[in-house]
Amino acid sequence: MGSSIGQSPERPVRVGILGATGAVGQRFIQLLEANPWFEITAVAASERSVGQRYGDACTWRLSVDCPATVRDLIVQPCEPDLDCELVFSALPSATAREVEERFADAGYGVLSNASAHRMDPDVPLLIPEVNADHLGLIAIQRERRGWDKGFIVTDPNCSTVGAVLALKPLHDAFGLRRAVITTMQALSGAGYPGVPSLDILDNVIPYIAGEEDKLVKEPLKLLGTFSAREGRVIPADIRISPACNRVATRDGHLETISVELERPATVAEAVEALRAFRSLPYELGCPSAVEPTIIVREEVDRPQTRIDRDAGHGMAITVGRIRPCEVLDLKFVVLSHNTIRGAAGGSILNAELMIARGMLS
Judged by the rule CB under 8 A, the positions of this chain that interact with its own copies are 23, 61, 63, 178-180, 182, 184, 187-188, 192-207, 216, 239-241, 243, 245, 247-250, 254, 256, 258, 260, 300-308, 310, 320-321, 325-328, 331, 333
CA–CA gap between residue 177 and residue 174 (Å, rounded): 9
Q: Which of 27, 112, 42 is CA-nearest to residue 99? A: 112
Checking DSSP bridges between strand 13-18 and strand 86-89, what pairing results, if any? parallel
CA–CA gap between residue 48 and residue 163 (Å, rounded): 37
Q: Which of 219, 80, 245, 82 is CA-nearest to residue 163? A: 219
- The catalytic residues are 158, 253
Work out how close the CB of 124 gets to its own copies at its nearest, in angstroms, rounded to a whole number.
Answer: 25
Q: What 8-state DSSP symbol labels residue 276? A: T
Which secondary-structure segment (H or E) carries 332? strand 330-336
Work out how close the CB of 260 gets to its own copies at its nearest, in angstroms, rounded to a whole number.
Answer: 8
Q: Report whether 348 contacts 36 (CB < 8 A).
A: no
Nearer to its own copies, 82 or 254 (CB): 254
Nearer to its own copies, 146 or 193 (CB): 193
What residue type is assigned to position 267 of the chain?
V
Which secondary-structure segment (H or E) carries 73? none
Work out how close the CB of 222 gets to its own copies at its nearest, in angstroms, rounded to a whole number.
Answer: 17
Nearer to its own copies, 78 or 257 (CB): 257
Q: Which of 357, 172, 332, 361 is CA-nearest to residue 259? A: 332
Work out how close the CB of 114 gets to its own copies at its nearest, in angstroms, rounded to a whole number.
Answer: 20
CA–CA gap between residue 223 and residue 169 (Å, rounded): 10
Q: Report whether 251 contacts 191 (CB < 8 A).
A: no
Nearer to its own copies, 16 or 303 (CB): 303
Nearer to its own copies, 156 or 252 (CB): 252
Work out how close the CB of 293 gets to its own copies at its nearest, in angstroms, rounded to a whole number.
Answer: 17
